[in-house]
Structure formats: structure tokens, C-alpha cells
């Protein structure tokens, strides 16, 4: 009886050791798999990021919509990338930030309003934001005029977060001038009627 109990205890101890060993190797294998996954996933992200930074692409090459994007003065590279991303003209703000840093565009980007489209590539957008002009007067006006004049005729301009009604600066100014001319014409017409009345009155007196 005693010998049988000892044999059973020995078998139990061996079974427990085998179970612990199996459990140890299972946990170790799981940790190794997780480490491999993290390394592969991290490498994939790094490769995709690097590839996109040095490869030019657009968010939607078929898009015909344009958005008026405002670049504020003293904006950092992160702020500019975030603004472009929030406006919906780029697909990855981190890639745009990387392009600005790698290409050293940070100090060249001009503040102001720009007509941009999701069909534009990263390079086309940066070229527009850093456009230079030889004429000093053109430099002052290039943000509000030149950049928005690049919008093709017939393209739809959508408002940016409801802050802009999609009206181009030149169009808005033209509308005001037209309205003013209409008012001036009306005043001139009234003046003409008064003169005609005055002349008729003189004629009656003379008669």
C-alpha cells in the first residue's frame, strides 16, 4: 500500500513538472511571437512612412473640388500639416510634416489663403505654398490672388469648415464694385430727371 502511494506521488510530481515545463515554453513562445509581430509591424510602418515621404501622391486624383485653405502667420510645420489635413486636401498629416522637414520648406511657406484640391500631390501643394515672385507688389498679392487664380474654371469651390462661403476674393470684390456702379447709375438717373424737370419749368415760364 505504501509503495503504491509513493508511486502515485512520484507520477503526480512528474506530471506537474511536465505541465509547468509545457506552460513555460508556451508563454515563452507567445512572447517571441508578439515581439516578432511588433518588430515586423514597426518596420512596415517605418517603411511606409519613409516611402510616402519620398514618393509623391495625391489624396484623390479624380477630385474636382477646391478648398480655400488659410495658413496663419508663424505657423509651425506641424500646424501647417494639421491645417491641410483638417481641410481635406491631404491624406496623411505626418507624411506632409515629414516632407516639410526633409525638404526644408518650413521657412519658405507663405501665410495667406490658398485654393487647394485633393487632386493635388504633396509636391504641388508645397510648390504653391512656397511660390516666389520677383516683383515686390506681386509678393504682397500672390497669396490672395495668384494662388486662387490657379483654380480651373468650372471647378467647384467648397467652404472650409463653414468659415468661408467658397467665394473667391476677386469675385467678392467684383460683386461689390458692380453693386456700387448700379447705385451710382441710379443716382445719375435721378439727377437727369431733375434737370429735365427744371428745363421744362423754365420753358413754361418763358412761354
Question: Whose CA is closest to 147, among 163, 124, 177?
Answer: 124
Rounded to a whole number of angstroms, the distance between the first and last alpha carbons of the chain is 156
Mean pLDDT, residues 14-39:
90
Sign of the four-CA dihedral 44, 45, 50, 56: positive
Model pTM?
0.54
Q: How far apart are CA 48 and CA 45, in angstroms?
A: 5
Cell of 126: 508645397
Neighbours of 164 (CB within 10 A): 16
Contact (CB, 8 A) for 97 and 186: no
- Provide the mean pLDDT of the chain: 73
Look-up of cell digits 502667420: 73
pLDDT tier at 126, thresholds 50, 70, 90: very high
Neighbours of 206 (CB within 10 A): 6
Sign of the four-CA dihedral 71, 76, 82, 85: positive
pLDDT tier at 54, thresholds 50, 70, 90: confident
- Report pLDDT digits (tens) over 176-193: 444 444 444 444 444 444
Amino acid at each position: 500500500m505504501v509503495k503504491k502511494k509513493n508511486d502515485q506521488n512520484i507520477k503526480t510530481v512528474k506530471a506537474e513538472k511536465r505541465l509547468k515545463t509545457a506552460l513555460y515554453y508556451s508563454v515563452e513562445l507567445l512572447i517571441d511571437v508578439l515581439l516578432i509581430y511588433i518588430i515586423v509591424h514597426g518596420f512596415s510602418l517605418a517603411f511606409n512612412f519613409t516611402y510616402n515621404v519620398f514618393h509623391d501622391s495625391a489624396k484623390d486624383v479624380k477630385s474636382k473640388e477646391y478648398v480655400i485653405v488659410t495658413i496663419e502667420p508663424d505657423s509651425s510645420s506641424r500646424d501647417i500639416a494639421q491645417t491641410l489635413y483638417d481641410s481635406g486636401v491631404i491624406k496623411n498629416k505626418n507624411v506632409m510634416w515629414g516632407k516639410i522637414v526633409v525638404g526644408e520648406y518650413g521657412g519658405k511657406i507663405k501665410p495667406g489663403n490658398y485654393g487647394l484640391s485633393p487632386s493635388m500631390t504633396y509636391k504641388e501643394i508645397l510648390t504653391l505654398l512656397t511660390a516666389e515672385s520677383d516683383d515686390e507688389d506681386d509678393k504682397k498679392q500672390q497669396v490672395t490672388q495668384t494662388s486662387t487664380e490657379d483654380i480651373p474654371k468650372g471647378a467647384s469651390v467648397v467652404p472650409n469648415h463653414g468659415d468661408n462661403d467658397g467665394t473667391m476674393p476677386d469675385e467678392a470684390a467684383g460683386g461689390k464694385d458692380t453693386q456700387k456702379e448700379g447705385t451710382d447709375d441710379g443716382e445719375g438717373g435721378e439727377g437727369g430727371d431733375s434737370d429735365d424737370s427744371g428745363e421744362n419749368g423754365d420753358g413754361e415760364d418763358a412761354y
